Amino acid sequence: MLAAQLSNDAMPAPARLRDAMRYAVLGGGKRVRPLLAYAAGEAVGADPGNVDAPAAAVELIHAYSLIHDDLPCMDDDALRRGKPSCHVAFGEAIAVLAGDALQARAFALLAQSQVGDPAGACALLAEAAGASGMAGGQAIDLEATGRTLDLTELSAMHRMKTGALIRASARLGARASSGLSSTQDAALDEYAAAIGLAFQIVDDCLDGEGTGARIGKTAGKDAANAKPTFLSLLGASEARARAEALRVEAHNALKPVGDRSRRLAEIADWIVAREF
């Protein structure tokens, strides 16, 4: 699905730009956002084929954000998923453009999806990706380097930087079902907000404990950059306890959704238990 969206048929493009886009998207990754979209769709009875477009769109947005976050002027990370970052492999200029073009591609395929309310889906994705969401969170993160955020500020930053797109992933997947109720939508949003924060707390713990080989990116960077993290504010034990509490909160949030939400519950478990 992702490869097809970046093929020459779907997207005629200069070869080197397309290579950079494919490198950034198809080079692995946990695919958490598409998984969430499909699992949320399943939870509310959507046809899985109707989830293909939103699942691909959120992953393209995520991939673009990683390219730009890794740039020398941003987090300056040379390693991503165990390989050279996009700008190391293709140069900074093409990396900037590959990110830009992936964002456009995400909206193109969602707008063309013909499922449910594609304009509403585009609006939801755009709000999650933009200044009030992911890009805004990254701006707060950048400006926080070297100074102290308290726990409230750190949580607010992560709600925007990673939480907004994770919530959009679940909600867009569920919108592929015409039977989605507002109660289910709200429940999935609450579930996704909890696992989004849990995901970040676990990420911080893994960065503090991990090695580059295991997490596939440069480890220990947060401490080296004097970045505030849940680990630095709470310590490992309290951070892990918070993640566990959020896992339980996520399970509880799923109650109104019903029996088909088993996979979402498993994703919550995996997010907290994962070691990479």
List of residues contacting its own copies (CB under 8 A): 11-14, 16-18, 21, 64-65, 68, 71, 73-74, 91-94, 96-97, 99-101, 103-105, 107-108, 110-112, 118-120, 122-123, 125-127, 129-133, 135-136, 138-140, 142-143
Closest CA to 243 of 215, 207, 208, 202: 202
Q: How far is the CB of 231 from its own copies (least distance, A)?
A: 23
Q: Which is nearer to its own copies, 117 or 238 (CB)?
A: 117
| Least Å from the CB of residue 12 to its own copies | 5
Q: To the nearest whole angstrom, how small is the minimum distance from the Cβ of residue 172 to its own copies? A: 13
Contacts of 5 (CB under 8 A, 6+ apart): 11, 56, 60, 105, 109
Query: In the complex, what is the shortest distance from the CB of residue 105 to its own copies, in angstroms, rounded to a whole number?
Result: 5
Phi, psi at 116, each rounded to 5°: 60, -120
User: Shortest approach of its own copies to residue 56 CB, angstroms?
Assistant: 13
Contact 127, 133 (CB under 8 A): yes
**Is 87 in contact with 72 (CB distance < 8 Å)?**
yes
Which one, 101 or 193, has the nearer CB to its own copies? 101
Is the Cβ of residue 141 or residue 203 nearer to its own copies in the bound state? Answer: 141
Token pair 């569920």: residue: 174
Cα–Cα–Cα angle for 125, 84, 170, rounded to 5 degrees: 20
Q: Helices 182-209 and 164-174 meet at what angle, rounded to 10?
A: 140
| Choice between 72 and 212, CB closer to its own copies | 72
Task: Note every long-range contact of 222-229, with CB atoms under 8 Å and residues 24 or more positions apart, other chains counting.
Answer: 225/75, 225/145, 225/146, 226/145, 226/146, 227/141, 227/144, 227/145, 228/144, 228/147, 228/148, 228/149, 228/154, 229/154, 229/204
For its own copies, the closer CB: 95 or 231 = 95
Distance in Å, CB of 198 to its own copies, minimum:
24
Shortest distance, position 129 Cβ to its own copies, whole Å = 5
Q: Are 8 and 18 in contact (CB under 8 A)?
A: yes
Instruction: Pick the closer one to its own copies by CB: 49 or 130.
Output: 130
- Of 144 and 245, which CB lies nearer to its own copies in the complex structure? 144
The alpha-helical segments, DSSP class H, found in 130-261 are 134-144, 151-158, 164-174, 182-209, 212-215, 221-224, 230-253
Nearest residue (CB) to its own copies, 108 versus 206: 108
Question: Shortest gap between Cβ of 100 and its own copies (angstroms)?
Answer: 5
* Token pair in block for residue 211: 């090695």
